[in-house]
């Protein structure tokens, strides 16, 4: 099936890394569905940039941490576009306050887990069922579920333990869904970014500027949403085959162990 006849859903797809992903998939030819917690008016500039690159795109206001929102999101996609071929679980949040794990609050933990882990997990469950139904009539179509993780899945940050735990959960969820969905021809992958320049990292920009300057990364620059988007594009289009369960690390060499 030509890419231009396929539909991709990017949660959190109207800002930051999600927008970088959406733009790359739009350029590849996908019909784009972006979702986010903001009303459409606040996301309009991003949506206009997507539509400049895509023949067709829609936006659905939805919070992935809420079950009724997830159901409404998928119903909107089905009613308006009739199919779904690629899910990118990108929506996520950072802690409202970076707190030492000796002092971290339970409400912050609950919010991080609900948004970053529970939401994508159950959205994947619902989308998988839909993709399996679609397979009955179009078995040969490439379908993919792509989770946006973080190097924080394996690198301990004791002032944001809730975030690290949520991303470690995403890493295991990727492996679980890859194992469960392989029989249905659905590829499941994780893209694991490092230090990416977005509004989420604005508060720690000076800190990481200094660390990058002092040699933290092999590639001496901030990553960009476009860098992550290109990795997702490879997976979404099926250009990387025979690789379900794979983790693509996009971190400028941050996680390379060195002496």
Q: Are strands 186-193 and 57-61 parallel, antiparallel or unpaired?
A: unpaired
132-172 tens-digit pLDDT:
999 988 888 999 999 999 999 999 999 999 999 999 999 99
- Identify the band that residue 102 occupies on the pLDDT scale cut at 50, 70 and 90: very high
Is residue 163 part of the annotated active site? The answer reads yes
Sort 181 into a burial class: Cβ within 10 Å, 0-12 / 13-18 / 19+. Answer: buried
Sort 207 into a burial class: Cβ within 10 Å, 0-12 / 13-18 / 19+. Answer: exposed
User: Of 163, 189, 208, 242, which residue is the catalytic one?
Assistant: 163
| Cβ atoms of 17 and 94 closer than 8 Å | no
236-248 tens-digit pLDDT:
999 999 999 999 9
pLDDT score of 1 more than 80: no
201-214 tens-digit pLDDT:
888 899 999 999 99
pLDDT score of 259 more than 90: no
The Cα–Cα gap between 239 and 60 comes to 28
Please report the domains of the chain, with CATH numbers, ordered by start residue. 3-250 (3.40.50.720)
* Overall pTM surpassing 0.75 (yes/no): yes
Give CA angle at 62 (61, 63), nearest 5°: 140
């Amino acid at each position: 099936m030509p890419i231009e006849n396929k539909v991709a859903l990017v949660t959190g797809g109207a800002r930051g890394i999600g927008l970088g992903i959406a733009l790359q998939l739009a350029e590849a030819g996908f019909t784009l569905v972006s979702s986010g917690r903001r009303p459409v008016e606040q996301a309009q500039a991003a949506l206009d940039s997507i539509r400049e690159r895509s023949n067709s795109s829609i936006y659905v206001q939805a919070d992935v941490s809420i079950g009724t929102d997830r159901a409404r999101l998928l119903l909107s996609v089905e009613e308006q576009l009739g199919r779904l071929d690629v899910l990118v679980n990108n929506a996520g949040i950072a802690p409202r306050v970076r707190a030492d794990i000796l002092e971290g609050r339970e409400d912050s933990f609950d919010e991080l887990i609900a948004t970053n882990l529970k939401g994508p997990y159950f959205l994947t469950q619902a989308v998988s069922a839909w993709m399996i139904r679609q397979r009955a009539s179009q078995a040969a179509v490439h379908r993919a579920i792509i989770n946006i993780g973080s190097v924080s899945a394996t690198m301990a940050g004791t002032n944001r333990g809730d975030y690290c735990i949520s991303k470690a959960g995403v890493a295991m969820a990727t492996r679980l869904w890859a194992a469960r969905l392989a029989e249905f021809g659905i590829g499941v992958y994780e893209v694991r970014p490092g230090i990416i320049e977005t509004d989420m990292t604005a508060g720690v920009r000076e800190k990481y500027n200094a660390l990058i300057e002092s040699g933290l990364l092999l590639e001496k620059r901030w990553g960009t949403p476009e860098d992550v988007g290109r990795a997702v594009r490879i997976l979404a289009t099926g250009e990387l085959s025979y690789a379900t369960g794979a983790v693509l690390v996009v971190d400028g060499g941050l996680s390379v162990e060195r002496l």
